[in-house]
Amino acid sequence: MTTPSATQYPQMNQPILGIPKENREGETRVAMTPDSLKKIVKKGFRIRMERGAGITAGYPDADFAFDGVELVDAVTALGAEVVIKINRPTVEELAKMKKGSLLICMLEPFAQDGFIEKLAQAGINAMGMELIPRTSRAQSMDVLSSQANIAGYRAVLEAATRYPRFFPMMMTSAGSAKPARVVVLGAGVAGLQAIGTARRLGCQVEAYDVRAEVKEQILSLGAKFIELDVGEEGTGAGGYAKELSEAAKLRQQQALTERLKKADVIITTANIPGRKAPILVTEEAVKGMRAGSVIVDMAAPTGGNCPLTEAGKTVVKHGVTLIGATNFPTMMPSDSSSFFGRNVFNLLGLMLDDKKPSILTLNLDDDIIAASLATLDGQVRFNRK
């Protein structure tokens, strides 16, 4: 698609921002919280927020009762010039949105279901929060990181509640208990938070990642780095892990299996954007773990790092509890919503000109805006490859 000149950049003059209630099953978050909305109102924007949108996140309607915010029904919120959501809209919601409006949400762009194409056909300009590049300049808008941080923390707490023994070493008059041995697989944002949380709870922690450069970060958190030679470098574009060859995957599984049998708790976080999650915890490893051990598979939504994981369920197999929760941030909705809202506010800041308050400009010369715009003017910009 030809990039327009500066004078052709789409602009929205004093658009109304709509915040509809999230209606996906199990979703407890809200896209914007009072702290972020107050900042937006100060910029001169008006907000139409669906009644009850923040209740499950701990923000009743009374928290939004300030000048600039109007509590409305779902149709009115979805009919705003700019619609901000956590999850992408349903087909029914999409039908209530205006042609030419701007949608900002998690688009799930790698899903092969034609949704991005439907947005383009409806003439809706859509920005995917997960498409924001992982660069220093974009850190304040990085929803993947803000939500993964919460997920890594919560995953450890879920493991602690399911593990039938103490996490820290305990000395009592009845005897002592050894600290739990925790292995974290994948040292991205979620993995590093899981390591830090497990260490703060007194666990002995080991961690593994295919990217050798994260060793220093793992060691800095007080964990031991698991050294494996799989014959390949695992660093991909943008700092993400890349998919290994089949031979390297097999070597990785074989090398990990015996070590994982000794773990009391395994937390897996390994994901590859747009691909099925790699298998790191084999059934053989699970069979070798002590009864009562726990696996938290944070890759459950993309197939799981363990073949025994069941997405959305907690099951016991071979005496080991496998937690396949698919949305950890919803377990801490107040902070998750607040972080998401701040990320969105910072993204909106890129589209504002101090000399022209209340005007949003989609400046395609800005690398963050250009990367996150999945659809524009009826055209699909996102390339799944």
Answer yes or no: 208 catalytic.
no
Pick the catalytic residue from 240, 358, 366, 367. 240
Pick the catalytic residue from 59, 142, 163, 211. 142
Q: What is the 3-state secondary structure (H, E, C) of 38-102?
A: HHHHHCCCEEEEECCCCHHHCCCHHHHCCCCEEEECHHHHHCCCEEEEEECCCHHHHCCCCCCCE
CATH 3.40.50.720 in the chain: give the residue spans. 6-141+333-380, 149-331
Give the residue-averaged pLDDT of 315-330.
98
Going by pLDDT thresholds of 50, 70 and 90, the confidence category of residue 243 is: low
Pick the catalytic residue from 24, 46, 51, 134. 134
User: Which CATH superfamily is 149-331 part of?
Assistant: NAD(P)-binding Rossmann-like Domain (3.40.50.720)
* Greater pLDDT, 11 or 322: 322
Q: Which CATH class is domain 6-141+333-380?
A: alpha beta
Q: Model confidence over 95-106: pLDDT tens digits?
A: 999 999 999 999
Contact 125, 100 (CB under 8 A): yes
Answer yes or no: 134 catalytic.
yes
Going by pLDDT thresholds of 50, 70 and 90, the confidence category of residue 2 is: very low
Give the residue-averaged pLDDT of 224-238.
70
Going by pLDDT thresholds of 50, 70 and 90, the confidence category of residue 340 is: very high
Answer yes or no: 217 catalytic.
no
Gyration radius (Cα) of the chain, Å: 23
Average pLDDT value over all residues in the chain: 91
Give the residue-averaged pLDDT of 267-288.
91
Which residues fall within 8 angstroms of residue 319, CB to CB, at 6 or more apart?
Answer: 289, 290, 291, 292, 293
pTM of the model: 0.90
What's the pLDDT at 98?
Answer: 95
* Greater pLDDT, 8 or 16: 16
Pick the catalytic residue from 101, 145, 193, 372. 145
Going by pLDDT thresholds of 50, 70 and 90, the confidence category of residue 241 is: low
Q: Model confidence over 155-214: pLDDT tens digits?
A: 999 999 999 999 998 888 788 889 999 999 999 999 999 999 999 999 999 999 988 889
